[in-house]
Amino acid sequence: MFPRLLAVAALIAAAHLLDAPALSTRTDGLSSSDGHRALRVAGFLPVWMAIGTALALHTRRRAIGVGLTLSAGLAGLLAEIGKLLIRRGRPGEVAGYTFHRLPDDLSTAGLGMPSSHAAVAFGGAFLLARLYPRVAPVVVLWAVGCGLTRVLDGAHFLSDVVAAAGLAWLVSRAVAARLMVSK
């Protein structure tokens, strides 16, 4: 497990080096396209709840539906908590990173690291990939697409998305381990 955690940390560090070039690819107006919205919706928890419900009905294993919702939801929640702890702002008019004081109301508005949309997308995708390896390319690419929409919209740095993916990977491992025990 430790070598994998080091690999995740290395990927996040590498993503920091690519933050500025990735932001230069910002594409205004793309967010209104159907393809963009189809990728972005992977970061919306009710989508994973619907997929989980459908799988639970199909397999007659309620734990799969609960696990999928838990993996996506917990990854998103931990990303929100991470934003409060890290307090790094979203990309803005000034070059580089900005850090904010802890808000009085615990709002994560204006905070970006890690991306909670990407965390939800990867949390669901990684769990599905663990449970059903043949669907891994489709669902993981869908999550990657969600993360890329956040960067292309200028809403997140690339490192925000990579950190979210690393967090979601850890969450999905824990949820999958629990699902395997409950079989």
pLDDT in tens, 23-45: 777 666 566 788 888 888 999 99
| CA torsion, ordered 54, 175, 8, 91, to nearest 10 deg | 60
Residue 183 has pLDDT above 70, yes or no: no
- Give the domain extent around 164: 35-87+109-183
pLDDT tens per residue across span 84-116: 999 888 887 666 788 887 767 778 888 889 999
Mean predicted confidence (pLDDT) in 69-85: 95
DSSP label of 114:
S
DSSP helix/strand/coil, 131:
helix
Is 18 in contact with 158 (CB distance < 8 Å)?
Answer: yes
Token reading at 78: 């931990």
Mean predicted confidence (pLDDT) in 169-174: 95
Cβ-based neighbours of 2, under 8 Å, separated by 6 or more: none
Quick check: is 179 in a domain?
Answer: yes
Quick check: is 128 in a domain?
Answer: yes
Quick check: is 41 in a domain?
Answer: yes
Q: Specify the pLDDT at position 44.
A: 94
Residue 128 has pLDDT above 50, yes or no: yes
DSSP helix/strand/coil, 60:
coil
Quick check: is 9 in a domain?
Answer: no
Quick check: is 29 in a domain?
Answer: no
Q: Specify the pLDDT at position 1.
A: 67
Quick check: is 146 in a domain?
Answer: yes
Is 111 in contact with 90 (CB distance < 8 Å)?
Answer: yes
Alpha-carbon distance of 86 to 80, in angstroms, equals 10
Quick check: is 28 in a domain?
Answer: no
The fraction of the chain above a pLDDT of 70, given in percent, is: 91
Mean predicted confidence (pLDDT) in 60-70: 88
Quick check: is 164 in a domain?
Answer: yes
What total number of domains does the chain contain?
A: 1
